[in-house]
Amino acid sequence: MRAKTIGLIAHTGKAGVAELARAVVNEFAARGIEVAVENATAALAQQPAGGDIAAIARRADLIVVLGGDGTILNVVASAGEELKPIFGINVGSLGFLTCVNSSAYREAVEAMVSGRIAYSERALLAVELRQGERTLSALHALNDAVISRGDVSRLIRLHARVNGEPLTEFNADGLIIATATGSTAYSLSAGGPILAPDSGVFVITPICPHVLTNRSVIVG
């Protein structure tokens, strides 16, 4: 797929990102590709503003993210249902989810314009926080969602269901519900397994469970 409109979103707190954003815009413009620049990124790079993250995702065929893994995770959460394929250019400290380092931005632009990039499909979590029939919050997550005991100084009891059917009860400090992509993050630190990125399954990992038999459960 060759993108006709590129969305550009950057971590504005990173050194040198303004210059990189301008350079990326110029590279695409030289090839006749429209670039919609997210508001904060546009202000920093002195480019026309194209809207917030959700608006950029709505307009773009492909989203270029300048930053690290945290920036990509934030874009996924903010874009929600409007999310498009993401190409990450690493200017952060962690770049497991990014495609290239910032020094290779010209080659990256050429690959995107010519369609010489491969797409990797990843499962997302759709998370809702409800109180009775009322939805208090809803978002999407690429890595994981965490239910924590917060300030409570004792274990919490959690009843887990899959597709409406009872799974098990966890007595723990909390639960991590991770995608295959997120299985190498918090869930792994809590003793969970590593899942193949394109497996499409999820893992439920208890945090400091009271019972030794309460371990990670993989669900499809």
Same domain for 55 and 102, yes or no, is: yes
Same domain for 174 and 210, yes or no, is: yes
User: Pairing mode, if any, of strands 156-162 and 165-172?
Assistant: antiparallel
pLDDT for the residue 165: 94
State pTM to two decimals.
0.88
Q: Which of 90, 114, 138 lies at the terminal end of a domain, its last residue?
A: 114
**51: Cα separation from own chain's centroid:** 19
Residue 54's domain comprises 5-114
pLDDT for the residue 1: 66
d(CA 114, CA 213): 52
Same domain for 108 and 197, yes or no, is: no
| Confidence label for 106 from pLDDT (cuts 50, 70 and 90) | very high
pLDDT above 80 for 92:
no
Q: What percent of the chain has pLDDT over 90?
A: 88
- Average pLDDT (110-128) is 93
Same domain for 12 and 92, yes or no, is: yes
Q: What is the CA radius of gyration of the chain?
A: 20
Q: Hey, what amino acid is at 111?
A: A
pLDDT for the residue 83: 94
Q: Which of 69, 94, 114 lies at the terminal end of a domain, its last residue?
A: 114
Residue 92's domain is classified under what CATH number? 3.40.50.10330
Q: What is the pLDDT of residues 14-44, one digit of tens each?
A: 999 999 999 999 999 999 999 999 999 999 9
pLDDT for the residue 146: 97
Q: What is the pLDDT of residues 180-196, one digit of tens each?
A: 999 999 999 999 999 99
- Cβ 207 vs Cβ 173: under 8 Å: yes
Is 173 annotated as catalytic? Answer: no
pLDDT for the residue 94: 76
Q: Is residue 119 part of a domain?
A: no
pLDDT for the residue 199: 93
pLDDT for the residue 214: 84
Same domain for 149 and 186, yes or no, is: yes
pLDDT for the residue 212: 81
pLDDT above 80 for 81:
yes
Same domain for 63 and 152, yes or no, is: no
Q: Which of 62, 94, 114 lies at the terminal end of a domain, its last residue?
A: 114
Q: What is the pLDDT of residues 137-151, one digit of tens each?
A: 999 999 999 999 988
Q: Is residue 120 part of a domain?
A: no
If one counts the domains in the chain, the total is 2
**Residue among 52, 61, 69, 198 flagged as catalytic:** 69
Q: DSSP string covering 107-163, please?
A: HHHHHHHHT---------EEEEEEETTEEEEEEEESSEEEEE-TT-SS-EEEEEEET
Q: What tokens does 27 get?
A: 């590279």
